[in-house]
């Protein structure tokens, strides 16, 4: 009957031999609380798995595995504060800049993974390619509405190619829809003062960057590629 009512966590716990033996030493209310906790845990896990699948994050990254020893200027206190997801609750954004290979995408995905665990919706789209395709098959408006409602939108590898007219308009509409309503993470190899070059329209650049930069946290990474540092050749050189 528990399974019939969709209480699969409780049903599984009820059938486990360890749970049955443990129940003998519990009051009725304590035993029921144990079953309910198992049900709640299973439902949280299923919600996380569904959100993680929908997010389609590029890296299977977790904040517990973040490397703070690498010389790249990553502030542990700031990153762990961001991992608490208060910035998402308060609708702040995050801008991560730095050269190729310093872990920008990995850090963004780790924060996205944690947001899924905290029951926030996350999207990691190939933004402009997806919208360009949607224009031709009638899904354009629906995708924009979905992006506007997503709790955390990750725009990875912003630039270095200049945006065309459609991309500029798409970017402006998305940022305006999310401004002080939802959170956005943007990563880029280019420093912030060169983002005007990417947008390539002074008027739209002012509007887009104002919506992104206002109340945004900043992580400016430095150093050489971590992939290069971890390559077998680099290890041999270090040992030598």
Contact 160, 198 (CB under 8 A): yes
Backbone angles phi, psi at 94, to 5 degrees: -140, 130
The rounded Cα 106 to chain-centroid distance in angstroms is: 10
Map tokens 């206002």 to a residue.
214
Contact 39, 7 (CB under 8 A): yes
Query: The dihedral of CA 102, 220, 175, 57: what is its sign?
Result: positive
Quote the pLDDT of residue 179: 92
Give SS3 for 77.
helix
Backbone angles phi, psi at 73, to 5 degrees: 80, 20
Contact 213, 205 (CB under 8 A): no
Map tokens 């900043």 to a residue.
218
Rounded to whole angstroms, the Cα distance separating 43 from 144 reads 29
pLDDT tens, per residue, the chain with 240 residues: 888 888 888 888 888 766 666 666 778 788 788 888 888 888 888 999 999 999 999 999 999 999 998 889 999 999 999 999 999 999 999 999 999 999 999 999 999 999 999 999 999 999 999 999 998 899 999 999 999 999 999 999 988 889 999 999 999 999 999 999 999 999 999 999 899 989 988 899 999 999 999 889 999 999 887 766 555 444 443 333
Rounded to whole angstroms, the Cα distance separating 115 from 111 reads 6
Map tokens 């308009």 to a residue.
169
Quote the pLDDT of residue 239: 34
Quote the pLDDT of residue 70: 85
161 class by beta-carbon count within 10 Å (0-12 exposed, 13-18 middle, 19+ buried): exposed
The residues that bridge with 154 in the sheet, in sequence order, are: 185
Quote the pLDDT of residue 234: 43
């Amino acid at each position: 009957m528990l399974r019939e009512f969709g209480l699969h966590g409780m049903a599984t716990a009820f059938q486990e031999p360890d749970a049955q033996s443990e129940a003998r030493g519990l009051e009725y209310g304590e035993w029921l609380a144990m079953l309910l906790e198992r049900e709640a845990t299973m439902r949280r896990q299923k919600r996380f798995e569904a959100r993680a699948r929908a997010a389609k994050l590029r890296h299977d990254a977790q904040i517990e595995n973040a490397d703070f020893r690498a010389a790249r200027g990553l502030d542990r206190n700031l990153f762990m504060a961001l991992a608490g997801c208060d910035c998402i609750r308060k609708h702040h954004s995050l801008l991560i800049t730095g050269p190729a290979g310093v872990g920008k995408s990995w850090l963004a995905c780790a924060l996205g993974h944690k947001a899924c665990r905290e029951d926030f919706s996350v999207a990691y789209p190939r933004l402009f390619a997806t919208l360009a395709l949607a224009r031709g098959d009638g899904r354009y408006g629906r995708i924009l509405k979905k992006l506007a409602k997503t709790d955390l939108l990750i725009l990875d590898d912003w630039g270095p190619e200049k945006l065309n007219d459609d991309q500029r308009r798409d970017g402006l509409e998305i940022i305006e829809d999310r401004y002080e309503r939802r959170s956005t993470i943007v990563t880029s190899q280019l420093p912030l003062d060169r983002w005007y070059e990417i947008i390539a329209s002074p008027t739209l650049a002012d509007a887009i960057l104002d919506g992104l930069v206002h109340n945004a946290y900043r992580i400016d990474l430095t150093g050489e590629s971590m992939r290069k540092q971890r390559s077998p050749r680099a290890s041999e050189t270090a040992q030598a």
